[in-house]
């Protein structure tokens, strides 16, 4: 009997912990499921109502393994605070596919009853938050995972957070490339910088896909000023790191020029080990110099 109870406890705990997701302390779990779904609906743009029908600006249907959680959040946390706490656990190294808040998302009733089929998520349109991100494996053949986070505050002040973890089969992963590129642009504009690539070797170069994405960003923002920055850590003194990364940044700018990119407002910069960000990995960043 004790063995059975212990097994059940382990299963309950593992439904959260092994998937790198921890509920907010004091939350009450209202729902958990783990199933393979066909035509699973993903919202990639604001929901509109056209002649009474739900019509997102952009959407996709996928066949995938889907795990979902629904929590009632303890009193004292707002919908935004709960959203930020849960999203912070899964957003690292993820490309944002779509994000919205408040009335810009559409009607919460549509998310609750049409998209998620969880009526308890019907609340105030102004107090809803939605985020969909894609995590890609280190290698091209590794699986890709979608994380979805949605929070809402109901009229009775109760706050709920709904989360999905969607494991994409390799045949479906390429369908999100277009949204990754758009989402990366939105992230760049929102936070003022974006990691273009990590640098596992001493050489710094851009792939064809990275060059094409940068060309599109520069084309879409002809009046913005950017810096292409190389960050290098360890192995040399600070001055050598700065000088070496500066030369590599110039080489990257040369790659863009050869590819026909609009580089009039792009500057190269070698940061060496200065200007660190969490993680401290060697990387190439695009920085928007006149970000708001």
Nearest CA-CA partner of 262 in 221, 209, 210, 205: 221
- Does position 275 have pLDDT exceeding 80, yes or no? no
Q: Which domains does the chain have, with CATH numbers?
A: 2-176 (3.40.1000), 192-288 (3.30.1330.60)
pLDDT band per the 50, 70, 90 thresholds, residue 4: very low
- Asked if residues 230 and 245 have their Cβ atoms less than 8 Å apart, the reply is yes
Summarize the confidence of residues 118-122 as an average pLDDT.
Answer: 96
Q: How confident is residue 104, by pLDDT bands cut at 50, 70 and 90? A: very high
Checking if the pLDDT of 37 tops 70, the result is yes
Q: What is the pLDDT of residue 93?
A: 77
Cα 285 to Cα 194, 203, 226, 252, distances in angstroms: 6, 15, 10, 11
* Residue 140 pLDDT greater than 90, yes or no: no
pLDDT value for 187: 75
What pLDDT score was predicted for residue 122? 96
Spatial separation of the C-alpha atoms in residues 15 and 32, rounded to whole Å: 8
Mean pLDDT score, 205-214: 88
Q: What is the pLDDT of residue 199?
A: 82
Residue pLDDT, tens place only, 60-97:
999 999 999 999 999 999 999 999 999 999 988 788 88
Cβ–Cβ under 8 Å, residues 231 and 273: yes
3-state secondary structure of 207: coil
Which pTM was predicted?
A: 0.68
Residue 8's pLDDT is 37
Question: Which pLDDT belongs to residue 137?
Answer: 62
Give the Cα separation of 200 and 282 in Å (integer). 7
pLDDT greater than 80 at residue 127:
yes
**Rounded mean pLDDT of 249-270?**
92
Q: What is the spatial distance between Cα 54 and Cα 47, in angstroms, rounded to a whole number?
A: 7
Compute the chain's Rg from CA coordinates.
22
The pLDDT mean for the chain works out to: 85
The pLDDT of residue 5 is above 90: no
């Amino acid at each position: 009997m004790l063995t059975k109870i212990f097994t059940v406890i382990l299963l309950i705990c593992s439904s959260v912990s092994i998937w790198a997701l921890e509920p907010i302390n004091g939350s009450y779990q209202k729902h958990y499921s783990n199933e393979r779904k066909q035509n699973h609906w993903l919202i990639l743009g604001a929901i509109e109502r056209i002649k009474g029908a739900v019509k997102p600006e952009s959407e996709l249907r996928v066949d995938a393994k889907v795990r979902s959680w629904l929590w009632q959040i303890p009193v004292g946390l707002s919908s935004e605070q709960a959203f930020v706490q849960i999203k912070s656990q899964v957003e690292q190294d993820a490309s944002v596919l779509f994000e919205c808040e408040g009335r810009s998302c559409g009607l919460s009733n549509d998310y609750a009853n049409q998209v998620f089929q969880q009526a308890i998520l019907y609340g105030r349109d102004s107090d809803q938050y939605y985020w969909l991100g894609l995590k890609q494996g280190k290698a091209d053949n590794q699986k890709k995972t979608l994380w979805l986070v949605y929070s809402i505050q109901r009229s009775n002040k109760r706050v709920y957070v709904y989360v999905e973890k969607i494991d994409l089969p390799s045949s479906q992963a390429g369908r999100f490339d277009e949204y990754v590129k758009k989402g990366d642009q939105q992230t760049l504009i929102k936070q003022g910088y974006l990691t273009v690539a990590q640098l596992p070797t001493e050489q710094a170069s851009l792939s064809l896909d990275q060059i094409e994405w940068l060309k599109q960003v520069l084309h879409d923002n002809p009046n913005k000023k950017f810096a292409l920055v190389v960050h290098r850590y360890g192995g040399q003194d600070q001055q050598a790191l700065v000088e070496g990364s500066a030369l590599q940044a110039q080489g990257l700018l040369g790659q863009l020029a050869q590819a026909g990119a609009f580089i009039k407002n792009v500057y190269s910069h070698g940061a060496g080990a200065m200007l660190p960000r969490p993680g401290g990995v060697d990387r190439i960043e695009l920085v928007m110099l006149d970000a708001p």
